[in-house]
């Protein structure tokens, strides 16, 4: 069991895989990606991630791309890697062509990379019990954060700066002072018994775990409301938490050193963590469609 890459259908150790210097993903960040959590050898929220990938490809006007073949390759990679608990990273670039800003004409074959690796949830599981410190940072990203592209330098710089301060994540604040999201997770919070989140739009990624959290909140009887919040308002929320593919539902203990609520995971966060686990347990108990495809 270990890391395994599948590059344009060819299996190889990730350390052996290389990118041609004319690959537009390398030159321009002209590429999209997805990350799925693998539980028991199956891709969690698979259909939703594939739908978001299709949308990203469409928004960037990629040429037609065979998503069914991608899915078959993903499952072959998971099987050959022998990974039960892991993550699958998928990246599709506009392909290899001499460097000009305009798209290659005629279009070239996209480059497709799949990387499967084991994931140890232990450290995150421990943090979910205590909550994590986060910091705020200016959101310096481009204006189409709803597309899941590999243009992640704004996220990378804020995340690095957070880590240097010993924080788990950076909550990003736009030029008007509103919270958008975090560098690799969505930010949700609770006020007066409601679960709240930044409205979907070009400023934030459409988060698959956020969508799940919305469904779970409604299922357990908590209103889910889209609204903008400033940093001071977020600091005054009853609870705040991060959601994401590998993060799941992670309580925020402090922002910039100031406790949220009493600085401990609150009852609404706990309720959603529980609902997440229940949903996962039911999904794992349902018959698996994966072997049929492999």
Ligand X SMILES: Cc1ncc(COP(=O)(O)O)c(C=O)c1O
| Residues forming the site for ligand X (CB under 6 A) | 35, 155, 181, 184-186, 205, 207-210, 243-245
Q: Which is nearer to ligand X, 77 or 185 (CB)?
A: 185
Q: Which is nearer to ligand X, 79 or 174 (CB)?
A: 174
Shortest Cβ distance from residue 228 to ligand X (Å)? 16
Question: What dihedral do alpha carbons 49, 53, 54, 56 form, nearest 10°?
Answer: 140
Shortest Cβ distance from residue 180 to ligand X (Å)? 9
- State the Cα–Cα distance between residues 44 and 38, nearest whole angstrom: 6
- State the Cα–Cα distance between residues 182 and 159, nearest whole angstrom: 9
Q: Which is nearer to ligand X, 96 or 240 (CB)?
A: 240
Distance of CA 193 to the CA centre of its chain: 26
Shortest Cβ distance from residue 207 to ligand X (Å)? 4
Shortest Cβ distance from residue 214 to ligand X (Å)? 11
How many CB atoms sit inside 10 A of residue 266's CB?
21
- First CA to last CA across the chain, in angstroms? 18
As a whole number of Å, the CA-based R_g of the chain is 19
User: If DSSP codes are grouped into helix, strand and coil, which group holds residue 183?
Assistant: coil
Shortest Cβ distance from residue 265 to ligand X (Å)? 19
Distances (CA, A) of 148 to 37, 38, 68, 209, 216: 16, 19, 19, 14, 24
Q: Which is nearer to ligand X, 11 or 60 (CB)?
A: 60
CB neighbours of 215 closer than 8 A, spacing ≥ 6? none
Shortest Cβ distance from residue 35 to ligand X (Å)? 6
DSSP alpha helices (H): ranges in 94-243? 122-130, 153-164, 208-219, 231-235
- State the Cα–Cα distance between residues 101 and 104, nearest whole angstrom: 9
- State the Cα–Cα distance between residues 77 and 69, nearest whole angstrom: 12
Q: Which is nearer to ligand X, 108 or 146 (CB)?
A: 146
Q: Which is nearer to ligand X, 97 or 178 (CB)?
A: 178
Of 58, 143, 148, 264, the catalytic one is 148
Instruction: Give the per-residue SS3 of 8-27.
Output: CCEEECHHHCCCCCCEHHHH
For residue 58, indicate whether it is catalytic.
no
Is the N-terminal amide bond of 106 cis, ω within 30° of 0? yes
Give the residue numbers marked as catalytic: 148
């Amino acid at each position: 069991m270990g890391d395994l890459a599948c590059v344009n259908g060819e299996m190889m150790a990730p350390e052996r895989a290389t990118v041609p210097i004319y690959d537009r993903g390398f030159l321009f960040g002209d590429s999209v990606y997805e990350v799925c959590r693998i539980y028991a050898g199956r891709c969690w929220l698979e259909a939703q991630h594939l739908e978001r990938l299709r949308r990203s490809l469409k928004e960037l006007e990629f040429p037609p791309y065979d998503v069914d073949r991608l899915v078959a390759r993903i499952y072959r990679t998971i099987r050959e890697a022998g990974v039960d608990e892991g993550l699958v990273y998928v990246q599709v670039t506009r392909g290899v062509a001499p460097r000009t800003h305009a798209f290659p004409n005629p279009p070239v074959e996209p480059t497709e990379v799949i990387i499967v690796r084991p994931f140890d949830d232990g450290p995150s599981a421990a943090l979910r019990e205590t909550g994590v410190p986060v910091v705020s940072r200016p959101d310096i990203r481009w204006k189409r954060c709803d597309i899941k592209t590999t243009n992640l330098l704004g996220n990378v710089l804020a995340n690095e700066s957070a880590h240097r301060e010993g924080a788990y994540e950076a909550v990003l604040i736009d030029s008007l002072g509103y919270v958008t999201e975090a560098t690799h997770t969505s930010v949700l919070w609770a006020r007066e018994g409601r679960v709240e989140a930044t409205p979907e739009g070009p400023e934030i990624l459409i988060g698959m775990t956020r969508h799940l959290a919305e469904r779970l909140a409604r299922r357990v009887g908590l209103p889910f409301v889209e609204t903008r919040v400033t940093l001071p308002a977020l600091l005054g929320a009853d609870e705040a938490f991060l959601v994401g593919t590998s993060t799941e539902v992670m309580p925020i203990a402090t922002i910039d050193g100031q406790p949220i609520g009493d600085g401990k995971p609150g009852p609404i966060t706990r309720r959603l963590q529980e609902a997440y686990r229940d949903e996962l347990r039911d999904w794992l108990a349902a018959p698996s469609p994966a072997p049929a495809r492999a």
